[in-house]
Amino acid sequence: MSSNIDVTETLDVTGQNCPMPVIKTKQAADELAAGDVLEVVATDSGSMSDIAGWAGSTDGVELVDQVEGDGVYTHYVRKTE
């Protein structure tokens, strides 16, 4: 677990499958202020590549970290602008 990440908000998308985790992550990120970090908790293994791909191709957000454990995938997305 990344304890040095200051999480602003947590988004729970457990039980939801592609593309919902990414869609909900985008919606939640749109509401954040610059510098805020969104923690996304998912159970869809595809969210690892989906959220990484979305963050990599989206201006104003960066993927800080991804943690995989026990069927749960946690993503940390920072709003950069």
Tens digit of pLDDT for each residue in 10-63?
999 999 999 999 999 999 999 999 999 999 999 999 999 999 999 999 999 999
Please state, in angstroms and rounded to a whole number, the distance separating the CA atoms of residues 10 and 61.
Answer: 16
Continuous segment of H or E residues that includes residue 77: strand 72-79
Q: Looking at the annotation, which residues are catalytic?
A: 18
Distance, CA of 20 to CA of 7 (rounded, Å): 21
Asked if 12 and 41 touch (Cβ cutoff 8 Å), the reply is: yes
Report the predicted TM-score, pTM, of the whole model to 2 decimal places. 0.93
